[in-house]
Chains A and B, each alone.
Chain A
Amino acid sequence: MNRIPTGGLIDRDISIPFTFDGQKYTAHPGDTLASALLANGVRLMGRSFKYHRPRGVLTAGSEEPNALMEIGEGADRTPNTRATTCEVYHGMVAQSQNRFPSLKVDMLAVNDLLSPFLGAGFYYKTFMWPKKFWEAVYEPIIRRAAGLGRLSGQADKAVYEKAWAYCDVLVIGGGPAGLMAAFTAGKGGAKVILADEDFIIGGRLNSEKTEVDGKPSHRWAAEMAAKLREMPNVRVMIRTTVTGAYDGGTYGAVERVADHLADAKGAPRQIFWRIVAKHTILAAGATERPIAFPDNDRPGIMLAGAVRTYAHRYGVAAGQRVAVFTNNDDGWRTAQDLLALGVTVTALIDTRTDVSPDIDCPVFTGAAVVGTSGRLGIERLSVRTSDGAVQQINADCLAVSGGWNPALHLTGHMGGKPTWREDIAAFVPTPNSIPNLIAVGAANGNFSTLGALKEGMAAAKAALKDLRLKQVRPHVPVADDAQGAVAAYWHVPDVKGRSWLDFQNDVTVKDIELAHRENFRSVEHMKRYTTLGMATDQGKMSNMGALAVMAELTGQSIPETGTTIFRPPYTPVQMGALGAGGAGKGFAPERFTTTHDWAVARGAVMIEVGLWHRASWFPAAGETHWRQSCDREVKMVREAVGICDVSTLGKIDIQGPDAGVFLDRVYTNMFSTLKVGKVRYGLMLREDGMVLDDGTTARLGENHFVMTTTTGAAGPVMSHLEFCAQCLWPELDVKMISVTEQWAQIAVAGPKSRDLLAGLIGDVSNASFPFMGCGNVSIGGVNARLFRISFSGELAYEIAVPAGYGAALMVELVKRAEALGGGAYGMEALNVLRIEKGFLTHAEMDGRATVADLGMSGMMSTKKDFIGKVSSQREGLLDPMREQLVGIRPVGPVRQILGGSIMVDVDAEPIRENMQGHVTSVCYSPTLDGMIGLAFVKGGHGRIGQTIRAVDLLRNLDTLCEIVSPQFHDPEGEKARG
């Protein structure tokens, strides 16, 4: 056991049982999985991605590249969870990943022996020949071997949530800088959000043995957090990682609400926040970087700061005999702190020659580690001393510090490039990389505690000033002001063996040298060639080392070499959080008609039409196939009377002195001449001359029209009309508002429709209510609108009542229709009825059809300008050989036509070059007792009576068809006028 007898921010009175790879262990509240495993003496925690090298935990934070685990079982199993941030809960089942059959005996470790053949870019070179082997052999093998954790393969049952938050000041990170910033901004009255990815506030204050204001730093942090939580204007969000910076002060953040609990009990496991901030203070701290030396990836080799974190925060000694390898003063602290805790320090190795650390352990200056040994974990290391001699040192833990990198990643999310600071040998954020974001403290390269406190406060004051809020002068706590010297040192030169840069993706110094030799020298090329920085830590551990190596090789400075671009997310985000609320009913809003419940109760089969749910058909007793229902419903309308809810069509109320003129300009045909009480069919074009939509518009009064649109185009047409009114002709006095939702509209269609309505409304004969007439009526004590329009070709009416009465009207109409031998019909029958008449839907108005293509040139008024008029007369659009709308009927032995078939000439091969058009709509017509279709055919209007083939190569159908008029039924339109 490596648990130090006392200390740490853990509750030693409580033990939490968990398993790792089937073995039972215990943790304490406050432990992470990594600290608990270390406490239990477990060093080996994972295998690397490519070579399956044994790996242990390297860090104590979210930048961890090695200790990735699968957490949970069954559908709950989550892969690639960093043990360093994962809080242990009661009964947690953790498994190592990327190994077979076990972590200690991994068969794929053979890859490591093959590594001379698997260097950078190996798959670009190795799997080139023979070509067909790629899909059949190589790729499946690589896919099996590659990847880290396994997905459960089951649907994620966890609950996720999305939410919005607004604040004056967003503080990212709750270390000394962030705490001081949030406190200052909060005192000044700003609305503050303090987000920290950790489960306790304090950042490195919880990891160090230091004092702030005369108290242990972790206690000062806890007291500050408590003060902040008491401020009503401050929201402290722990377990919340700000993952991305976006335009306009918008930040993405993931709050892990219940990942640390065995049972979320219905609460969201994670919440994806969109935080909109006027000012942002980036106080994300810094991440320590390793030094590359041969076999620097052995379990037990860790970052020096992480060793301190495990000691001070978790009460865990990462080893019993610890050696420290550093290029900076901060590394000394690790040795000092461990000695103070009674841990043996076997060596302090500093690469610098001009330092003389006063530490009670063997000290080597101007020295470097040149190798390590030990099975599944470090046992010894080789030190090359300043005189060149190599000395063996025993250690079961090697703490390495190569200096610190400011956590500036968010400042790159909008394309910002960082600035190199030679004095700290690190990149720092370039100011204004993100508008209204200021980086402070370690994230800004200011590594002293006092410096961080002061910078945090100053940034908050600047924000308060900009927000015109109260200026405050909080007390600046007493704290350590040591910045710590560092001398850049990236990798140990003149060594044999592999020195690892990217631990997860197995990229070594030699791989960078190879990339350089093969001329992949720009950082972006190097990254893709070697896969460096493409691991789940996104280069947090590896980028700087690789850049430095490449800089050396090219003889450039590090800033000249440049950096790759940091993109969101800062740490991996689960798809479940990003997709929160988007599953099931959350995929898109559902729209229901007022007759929906009635239709469902009647046994109607429903279909989604855009967002709407509509009745597709109403099965009658004994009907087992939709065609039986559909055919019956069509016959019912043709022979008696059918009732159909058509409320989903868009309805736009248009009023004003210029309403008529306005309609003239948006429709191809005239509406200003329409008489009050009449309805006219209209076509609307886009400005490029293509048909946008069709529908009827009724004139209810001198300055009052009601337009109908197709169901699908209701929104776009409304936007189009608003564009015309606001952007093109603001001088027109016309007002529009959607009344789609106000009116439930029900079609009453069929030869007996007049009889039906006579019993409801009274006289609706041709004399009192002619074809294309409209007017106000009263039905059952309700004010209604009646329209004599027909989408079926039969004598038909549509009745609109305020939507609250829609269901009641439907019930009444269907009851009366059934008494007349009719009944309700659905979308399938409606579609058959309109195809039989050659009426259009958006299958025909597909955005490529002109009015002429649709055979409706007569509707193009020559007396006025209208949207699309000029463009519709472009030369290409007048070509008589354009695809034109026709009807088709089978005339050969094959009696079926399939929608989407392509048209070819009778003796032509069905290939693209011979394509004559395509089939847009098909149905079985009970009226004509056979399949019919609508199709676009090149020069079709001139080919009526000719034969052509409709070919569906996917479904293997080839139908000989006759080209006919699209008006199959009652082409003279006598029935509708009857």
Chain B
Amino acid sequence: MADFKLHPSEALIGQPIEIGAAVLACNQPANILSVAPFKGQGMAVNDVLKAVVKLALPTVGRVRTKKHVRAMWAGQGQWFVVGDIELAVLAQALDTKAAVTDQSDAWVVLTLGGADAREVMSRLCSLDLDALEQGQTARAEFAHMMSCITPTPEGFEIMIMRSFAKTAIHHTREAMGKLAALRAL
């Protein structure tokens, strides 16, 4: 057995991309774990989560944050626990109570900020962005790709599946560029 070590790939965005009044960056969390409670286990799952990460699962379409961990609804019967929490710890704690999978490498977390973040989003996403309040999160279409969109005080967090991330960044940059050019007219 060789003594070699595998190293992870670099993030798709190093320095934030600023075009006009919008800034696109990558803000990858330590871990993203999916939690899907089994039948009748919702309360039990919440008890475990409260003990392990001091958080219960939020209701449909919402996000809860506690220090370095966040729990976000991620679809029917599905939540993502995001942040400093290891798969082994959560999988063991939830054992027969919920299906837990590692999604840390499956999603790229982009952030779009700046005064024009909302206007850029309106080019890429069919959501009613004004109706999306802080504390909410939406599974939605983003430039023809599946995504999780969460409003933040600075703008929006856009979770995109890893293989689509380059495409998402490309389209977002294009939209930022077109909007900046429009503003300059």
Contacts and interface: CB of A to CB of B under 8 A. Distances in A.
Interface of A: 159, 161-166, 191, 257-258, 261, 264-268, 274, 276, 581, 585-586, 588-594, 612, 653, 655-657, 703, 726, 733, 735, 737-743, 759-762, 779-782, 801-809, 812
Interface stretch (B49-57, B58-66, B101-109, B148-156): B101-109
Contacts of A267: 178, 181-182, 184-185
A266 B174 CA distance: 10
Nearest to A760: B2
Contacts of A657: 38, 96
B134 interface: no
A162 B9 contact: no
B2 A759 contact: yes
A166 B121 CA distance: 13
Contacts of B2: 759-760
A588 B131 CA distance: 28
Interface in B156-184: 161-164, 166-168, 170-171, 175, 177-178, 181-182, 184
A802 B105 contact: yes
B1 interface: yes
A369 to B, nearest CB: 46
A780 B162 contact: no
Given A265-B181, A591-B164, A655-B99, A163 B104 contact: no
B9 A590 contact: no
Nearest to A587: B144
Contacts of B127: 164
Contacts of B27: none
B39 A733 contact: yes
Nearest to A807: B9
B99 A656 contact: yes
B78 interface: yes
B105 A589 contact: no
Contact of B178 (A268, A590, A743, A782): A268
A742 to B, nearest CB: 4
Interface of B: 1-2, 4-9, 34, 36, 38-39, 76-78, 96, 98-99, 101-107, 122-123, 125-131, 143-145, 161-164, 166-168, 170-171, 175, 177-178, 181-182, 184-185
Contact of B38 (A159, A735, A742, A743): A735
B130 A812 contact: no
Contacts of A806: 9
Which 10 pairs, one residue from A and one from B, show the smallest C-beta to C-beta distance? A780-B6, A655-B99, A741-B106, A266-B181, A804-B8, A735-B99, A267-B181, A591-B163, A803-B105, A742-B106
Nearest to A654: B99
B178 A266 contact: yes
Contact of A741 (B8, B163, B185): B163
Given A741-B106, A802-B102, A592 B166 contact: yes
Contacts of B98: 735
Nearest to B103: A742
Given A266-B177, A761-B1, 16 more contacts: A162-B123, A164-B122, A164-B123, A166-B130, A166-B131, A585-B167, A733-B39, A735-B78, A740-B106, A742-B105, A760-B1, A779-B6, A780-B5, A781-B5, A803-B105, A806-B9
A387 to B, nearest CB: 61
A733 B178 CA distance: 48
B101 A739 contact: yes
B163 A585 contact: no
B77 A276 contact: no
Contact of B184 (A265, A594, A740, A779): A265
A941 to B, nearest CB: 40
Given A653-B101, A805-B8, A737 B181 contact: no
A703 B39 CA distance: 14
B87 to A, nearest CB: 9
Contacts of B185: 257-258, 261, 264-265, 267
A258 B184 CA distance: 12
A164 B125 contact: yes
Contacts of B99: 653, 655-656, 735, 737
From B5, B9, B38, B104, name the one whose CB has the most chain A CB atoms within 10 angstroms.
B9
Contacts of B5: 780-781
Contacts of B129: 166
A582 to B, nearest CB: 10
A276 B102 CA distance: 38
A464 B128 CA distance: 20
9 contacts: A266-B181, A267-B185, A590-B164, A737-B34, A741-B106, A761-B1, A806-B9, A808-B6, A808-B8
B167 A589 contact: yes
B1 A759 contact: yes
Contacts of B122: 163-165
A229 to B, nearest CB: 16
B182 A737 contact: no
Given A265-B181, A267-B178, A781-B6, A589 B123 contact: no
B80 to A, nearest CB: 10
B184 A191 contact: no
Contacts of A743: 105
A742 B129 CA distance: 29
Contacts of A655: 36, 99, 101
A802 B104 contact: yes
Contact of B106 (A163, A581, A739): A739
A304 to B, nearest CB: 37
A265 B179 CA distance: 11
B13 to A, nearest CB: 15
A592 B163 contact: yes
A728 B6 CA distance: 44
Given A264-B181, A267-B182, A781-B5, A741 B166 contact: no
A815 B145 CA distance: 35
Contact of B123 (A161, A759, A812): A161
Nearest to A759: B2
B9 A808 contact: yes
A743 B128 CA distance: 33
B170 A585 contact: yes
Nearest to A276: B128
